[in-house]
Amino acid sequence: MSATRYTYLGPEGTFTEAALRTLPEAATRELVPMVSVPAALDAVRNGEAAAALVPIENSVEGGVTATLDELASGTPLMIYREVVLPIAFALLVRPGTKLSEVKTVTGHPVAQPQVRKWLRANLPDAVWESAASNADGARLVQEGRFDAAFAGEFAAATYGLEALVTEIHDAENAETRFVLVGRPARPAAPTGADKTSVVLWLGDDHPGALLELLQEFAVRGVNLMLIQSRPTGAGIGNYCFAVDAEGHIADRRVGEALMGLKRICPNVRFLGSYPRAGVAVEDVRPLRTGTSDEDFMTASDWLARAQDGRA
């Protein structure tokens, strides 16, 4: 395995690369762009890279399905860190192009919902065609295959383009969350401001099946930050659920919730416990009464005494 190589959704000039370069260790790693999320993750699975940074969620459209599906299937991987990056697009064109001359536009499929209103107001007749990434869209504009691409303004210099319009976003304060993914290992120690990610499969479809999963978290005071259903590929109506929960697997409330889920789910895939991006310990909401590690230990000691006739 190359311990010094990180892959990311490329080519050069993507928001993913910009997010990766915010990590301190990126300065000492070989950063290798890949053509797709599966390719970036497969490089980790195959031992060609130590880790990969890929997008997993944005504040406009929710989960990035390509990443969620890859993490839910294939050889297991683990999330070790997350990065949250503010997102604003620029309309990149070949030098000298006027807005009235833009008839075809491109960008990553996740970008389209984030600029749809702007497109309708400013380029209502432009034809959209998706690209593998926003930076790949910029490359296609450079090659003359499209008139304009929605990408980060920083990508203009890489592809010899200019930003015709900047700060394009339909939603104020739009953000995308990226995750650093590696091969499974022991999670880092809890920080007090952590997140745990899992994928859950229902045993069978019956009334209240999803509620039973959610109750394992609720009764232990574990707050859910994301839950998204994804088809398993086994036929209509067969779904798994990607879940992000507050806390660390080493926290008693989280660990016991996961044990409860393992008892009722045919499959539980642990995707990692890792620090929440941009959240300090003092910003974490206080735990509900009865859900701290001390509360769980007190209850466990009481049970032991009861079993010994000392309660």
Give the pLDDT confidence of 21-64 residue by residue, as tens digits.
Answer: 999 999 999 999 999 999 999 999 999 999 999 999 988 888 88
Q: Tokens 């019956």 label which residue? A: 206
Identity (one letter) of the amino acid at 152?
A: G
pTM for the structure as a whole: 0.88
What is the Cα–Cα distance from 66 to 74, expressed in whole angstroms?
Answer: 13
pLDDT below 70 — which residues of the chain?
1-2
Per-residue pLDDT at 2: 67
The dihedrals phi and psi of 302, each to the nearest 5 degrees, come to -60, -45
Q: Tokens 């398993």 label which residue? A: 232
Per-residue pLDDT at 227: 93
Please answer whether residues 244 and 195 qualify as being in contact, where contact means their C-beta atoms are separated by less than 8 angstroms.
yes
Give the pLDDT confidence of 226-239 residue by residue, as tens digits.
Answer: 999 988 777 777 88
Per-residue pLDDT at 1: 53
What is the Cα–Cα distance from 197 to 71, expressed in whole angstroms?
Answer: 10
**DSSP at 220:** T
Q: Where would I find the H helices in 9-105?
A: 15-20, 37-45, 65-72
